[in-house]
Copies of this chain bind each other. A is one copy, B any other.
Amino acid sequence: METHMENNKMLYSHVSVDCVLLGVNEDKLCVLLVERKIDKSDEKHYKLPGSLIFENEDLDTAAYRVFNEATGLKRVPLKQFRSFGSPSRTKNKDDMQWLENAMKLKIERIVTVAYLALSKIGRKSNPTNKYNSLAWFPVDALPSLPFDHKEIIEAAVEEIREWVEKEPSIIFDYLPLKFTAYQLRRTYEIIYNKEMDVRNFHKKMGSLEYIVQTDEIETGVAHRAARYYRFDKVKYNKLHSKFNKN
């Protein structure tokens, strides 16, 4: 570690929040982006919903303000997941010029506190007119993004995978109450962005007591009708009961 004695002026910085909203559609893990208003440009420019925070705001308040302005959604729990403060995140001149024009402020460094939320795609949103539009983009096919927003989204995707690993029940929020083995596998494949071995998946699924067969099978399908399963929260909680729940 270098001590940088020659350059240890204390950082005086703007602080922002950025919100990463991830959703699963039938094929892709997607992130919600907003369209920036840029003068003299016909191109569309997207970014994460975000804002510098106000002098009298704390971080969570700013995050909910930003999220609500962008989506109109309330009651979506936002979780702070990481702060990004590399000096290089504000090195791009175009980004900084856009920001200084939009904010009418001289800006040097910005430390941003990133928040993460999950949402089913298609939930009715009602954004304010702060942005031109908003749109879902697959996380593996992002448009060009300002600052380190691509890095923030990549970190959020890693984070959501960790959440699902550590708290597998999250996955069932993305599924209908009754789901087929195929639907469950596809949801995992979408979140982890990789194909899974079908036989191993079924074996693993069969070993999990909280995934319960129902008596129902698909109807009206061209292929062989698949059985429906359901998530048994009571069994799940029992299996995941910890020492401290004694």
Residues of A within 8 A of B (CB): 1, 3-4, 7-15, 52-59, 61, 64-65, 68, 80, 82-87, 103, 105, 109, 111, 113, 161, 164-168, 185, 188, 192, 194, 196-197, 200-201, 204, 241-244, 246
Are B14 and A53 touching (Cβ within 8 A)? no
Question: Could you tell me the distance between the alpha carbons of A233 and B197 in the complex, rounded to whole angstroms?
Answer: 25
Are B8 and A54 touching (Cβ within 8 A)? yes
Which secondary structure dominates chain A's binding surface? mixed
Question: Could you tell me the distance between the alpha carbons of A119 and B82 in the complex, rounded to whole angstroms?
Answer: 22
Question: Could you tell me the distance between the alpha carbons of A10 and B242 in the complex, rounded to whole angstroms?
Answer: 44
| Given A12-B12, A111-B15, A167-B166, A55:B87 Cβ within 8 A | yes
Are A194 and B57 touching (Cβ within 8 A)? no
Q: List the B side residues contacting A13 at CB < 8 Å.
A: 12-15
Question: Could you tell me the distance between the alpha carbons of A76 and B92 in the complex, rounded to whole angstroms?
Answer: 34
Copies in the assembly, this chain: 2
Are B87 and A52 touching (Cβ within 8 A)? no
Q: List the B side residues contacting A109 at CB < 8 Å.
A: 55
Q: List the B side residues contacting A12 at CB < 8 Å.
A: 12-14
Question: Could you tell me the distance between the alpha carbons of A83 and B80 in the complex, rounded to whole angstroms?
Answer: 8
Are A244 and B56 touching (Cβ within 8 A)? no
> With A15-B15, A56-B87, A204-B243 given, can you name 15 additional A-B contacts, CB distance below 8 Å?
A1-B61, A1-B65, A4-B56, A7-B55, A9-B55, A11-B14, A11-B52, A11-B57, A12-B12, A53-B85, A55-B87, A57-B87, A164-B244, A165-B244, A168-B242
Across the A-B interface, give the 8 residue pairs with the lowest CB-CB distance, nearest first. A166-B166, A58-B86, A59-B85, A10-B52, A192-B244, A9-B55, A200-B246, A196-B246
Measured between C-beta atoms, what is the minimum distance from A180 to chain B in Å? Answer: 15
Question: Could you tell me the distance between the alpha carbons of A87 and B3 in the complex, rounded to whole angstroms?
Answer: 30
Q: List the B side residues contacting A113 at CB < 8 Å.
A: 83, 85, 111
